[in-house]
Amino acid sequence: MRIAVIGTGYVGLVTGACLAHQGHVVTCVDTDAEKLARLRQGVCPLYEPGLDAMVSRGLKANRLHFVGDTAVAVAEAEVVFICVGTPTQAAGGEADLGQVRTAAVEIAAALRRFTVVAVKSTVPVGTGDEVEALIRRRRPDADVAVVSNPEFLREGTAVGDCQKPDRIIVGTGDARARDVMARLYAPLTSTGAPLVVTDRRSAELVKYTANALLAIKIAFINEIADLSEAVGADVEDVAHGVGLDPRIGPGALRPGPGYGGSCFPKDSAALLTTSQRAGAALRILAAAVEANTRRKQGLVDRIARAAGGLTNKTVTLLGLTFKADTDDLREAASLTLAPALLKAGAAVRAYDPKGMAEARRLLPGVEMCTDPYAACWGSDLAVVLTEWPQFAALDLARLRKTMRSPALVDLRNLIDPATAVRSGFSYAGIGRHLPAELEKARAETGRGIVPMATTGAPV
């Protein structure tokens, strides 16, 4: 099938490359000439494991193309995907649909045959109706069906998610559109991916509901982590035991510095705005958003307690992106934490395997370093902020020798506490108590786990 993809951001580029890999002929559209030139050379503008190789294969197979003219892509396409950004508006939590509307107008002008316009951008309920109205006003003669086809890509695993989706949601009441989308996704449904066809508004709400539930789970396990600290339980054991319940599952039950990224904060805000306008309050989601905000704001207090104050201290941040296996800093905890640490009088150094280029722009005043050991040189405190696997494999004895004060705050529970203590560190995790095996280590080293919720003095 011939496919057009409007937008070569995260969703558009992954979608286009994966559809080309599945055998379709895909033409991706973008307005950035420099970006298009690089994409034609196989150079991706973002880091996502496996994406570079998939783009290169699509180019070599002549199934993946990049153009700047929407009309060229749309004229022969059977399906046109709208994959443009829907950022949160500056005022309030409403999604900005400006790029979606522009894409709809440009698509309308280029339609030549029966075409399915699939909205893959995350949009508020009812946006499909608006897109269809825009197209029909400008092209009353157009033979077109607008469907909702939300994406469920996770940064860091997006290529695999696209190739082996756990579900494909298509929102349409048009039989022809349903058949076209079924043919499009036949390479995936033939290997077991479920295709769920529903009405357009329900499909739009599926995406928001999924992200809202995940945000709620993250916010809730973080509060359970605080409770674990207060009562002497271990949140890792709690989360494992709870996650074995098939009604709950282990996903999104990892305590940490709070959720971030391009989806959960934006989509939660947009869904709350939708609920307010509809007069159907989402009180649980509102509480989760508030809890997540408090979580990020409270990180400075946690770190200050572990460091015994921040004035004239040097703090090293290990990880800056909102999660591992991405270069994305959108809504990352580092964007809240680093400026607050600087304001509190600390010097801040940092290292991230993939996020340094963007961090230099977004975090002025933070010293960016070449590796984790260089970042910790002369530091009073190291903070594991992102769950990059290489931080779990740090040589703690070597790290200890680089630091002025051997203190470690592990906001991802990535490092084994016993190993940290035996290497000479005072250790502070999230929701972890002092297990029996650390009692001996504490006696041997004079150090132990710093109780985050109470005092900065080692136990």
> Which pLDDT tens digit goes with each residue over 254-263?
999 999 998 9
Torsion angle, alpha carbons of 300, 306, 310, 312, to 10: -150
Domain boundary among 263, 290, 317: 290
Interatomic CA distance for residues 211 and 251, integer angstroms: 12
Sign of the dihedral through C-alpha 104, 110, 113, 115: negative
Which of these ranges, 27-31, 224-228, 234-238, 262-266, has the smallest mean pLDDT? 262-266
Q: What is the pLDDT of residue 439?
A: 52
Do residues 67 and 216 both lie within one domain? no
Do residues 334 and 369 both lie within one domain? yes
Q: What's phi and psi for 165, nearest 5 deg?
A: -70, 145
417 close to 391: Cβ distance less than 8 angstroms: no
> Domain range holding 244?
208-290
Residue 203 inside a domain? The answer is no
Let me know if 152 is exposed, middle or buried by CB neighbors in 10 A (0-12, 13-18, 19+).
middle
Do residues 274 and 379 both lie within one domain? no
Could you give the number of structural domains in the chain? 3
Please give the positions annotated as active site: 263
Which of these ranges, 52-56, 80-84, 434-438, has the smallest mean pLDDT? 434-438
Do residues 280 and 365 both lie within one domain? no
> Which pLDDT tens digit goes with each residue over 192-221?
999 999 999 999 999 999 999 999 999 999
> Which pLDDT tens digit goes with each residue over 84-111?
999 988 777 889 999 999 999 999 999 9
Domain boundary among 290, 309, 329: 290
Interatomic CA distance for residues 163 and 188, integer angstroms: 7
Interatomic CA distance for residues 430 and 225, integer angstroms: 6
| pLDDT above 50 (res 234) | yes
Candidates 77, 46, 35, 41; CA nearest to 59 is 41
Q: Helix axis angle, 283-307 relative to 200-231, nearest 10°?
A: 40
pTM of the shown model:
0.90
Q: What is the pLDDT of residue 322?
A: 96
Do residues 263 and 351 both lie within one domain? no
Coil, strand, or helix at residue 228? Answer: helix
Q: Give me 114's structure tokens.
A: 């029966």
Residue 454 inside a domain? The answer is no
pLDDT above 70 coverage of the chain, percent: 94
Written as one string, the DSSP assignment of 33-71 is HHHHHHHHTT--SS--TTHHHHHHHHHHTT-EEEES-HH
Q: What is the pLDDT of residue 391?
A: 97
Proportion of the chain in helix, strand, coil states, percent, rounded to 5: 45, 15, 40
Q: Residue range 140-153: average pLDDT? A: 97
